[in-house]
Structure 1
Amino acid sequence: MFDNLLPPLNEHNLPYPDTIHPIVVHFVIAMVLFAFFCDVVGYFTGNKKLYEVSWWNMCVATVSIFIAILFGQIEAGLAIAYDAVAPILNIHTIIGWSLSGIIAAITGWRYVIRSKTPDSLPSAYLGISLLLVCLVFYQVILGDNLVWVYGLHTTEVVQAAKDGLL
Structure 2
Amino acid sequence: MLEYLPPLNDHNLPYPDTIHPIVVHFVIAMVLFAVLCDGIGYFTRNARLYEVSWWNLFFATISVFIAIIFGQIEAGLAGPYAVAESTLNLHTILGWSLSGIIAAVTAWRYVLRSRDSKTLPPLFLVVGILLVGLVLVQVYLGDLLVWVYGLHSVPVVDAAKKGLLQ
Partner of 1:12: 11
Task: Provide the rounded CA distance (Å) in 2 between the counterparts of 1:16 and 1:72.
Answer: 14
Say whether 1:33 aligns with 2:32.
yes
Task: Provide the rounded CA distance (Å) in 2 between the counterparts of 1:84 and 1:164.
Answer: 14
Task: Provide the rounded CA distance (Å) in 2 between the counterparts of 1:82 and 1:51.
Answer: 44
Task: Give the share of equivalent positions with the same residue, in percent.
Answer: 68
Task: Provide the rounded CA distance (Å) in 1 between the counterparts of 2:68 and 2:25.
Answer: 12
Task: Provide the rounded CA distance (Å) in 1 between the counterparts of 2:158 and 2:37.
Answer: 45
Task: Provide the rounded CA distance (Å) in 2 between the counterparts of 1:3 and 1:68.
Answer: 25
Question: Following TM superposition, by how much is the alpha carbon of 1:138 offset from its aligned partner in structure 2, in angstroms?
Answer: 0.2
For residues 13-38 of structure 1, give each alpha carbon's deviation from its aligned partner in whole angstroms, at most 9, with x where no partner exists.
Answer: 00000000000000000000000000
Show the 5 A alignment for 1:117-136.
117-136=116-135
Partner of 1:49: 48
Taking only aligned residues, the RMSD between alpha carbons, in angstroms, comes to 0.4
Task: Provide the rounded CA distance (Å) in 2 between the counterparts of 1:69 and 1:13.
Answer: 18
Question: Following TM superposition, by how much is the alpha carbon of 1:86 offset from its aligned partner in structure 2, in angstroms?
Answer: 0.3
Q: In structure 2, what residue type is equivalent to 1:61?
A: A
Say whether 1:95 aligns with 2:94.
yes
Q: In structure 2, what residue type is equivalent to 1:107?
A: T
Structure 2 stretches of 5 or more lacking a match?
none
SS in 2 for 1:85: helix
Task: Provide the rounded CA distance (Å) in 2 between the counterparts of 1:161 and 1:101.
Answer: 33
Question: Following TM superposition, by how much is the alpha carbon of 1:117 offset from its aligned partner in structure 2, in angstroms?
Answer: 1.3
Q: In structure 1, what residue type is equivalent to 2:57?
A: M
Show the 5 A alignment for 1:58-73.
58-73=57-72
For residues 51-95 of structure 1, give each alpha carbon's deviation from its aligned partner in whole angstroms, at most 9, with x where no partner exists.
Answer: 000000000100000000000000000002100000000000000
Q: In structure 1, what residue type is equivalent to 2:104?
A: A
Question: Following TM superposition, by how much is the alpha carbon of 1:128 offset from its aligned partner in structure 2, in angstroms?
Answer: 0.5
Task: Provide the rounded CA distance (Å) in 1 between the counterparts of 2:73 and 2:163.
Answer: 23
Task: Provide the rounded CA distance (Å) in 2 between the counterparts of 1:37 and 1:72.
Answer: 26
For residues 130-166 of structure 1, give each alpha carbon's deviation from its aligned partner in whole angstroms, at most 9, with x where no partner exists.
Answer: 0000000000000000000000000000001111110
Task: Provide the rounded CA distance (Å) in 2 between the counterparts of 1:86 and 1:128.
Answer: 30
Partner of 1:83: 82
Task: Provide the rounded CA distance (Å) in 2 between the counterparts of 1:131 and 1:96.
Answer: 15
Task: Provide the rounded CA distance (Å) in 2 between the counterparts of 1:137 and 1:3.
Answer: 38
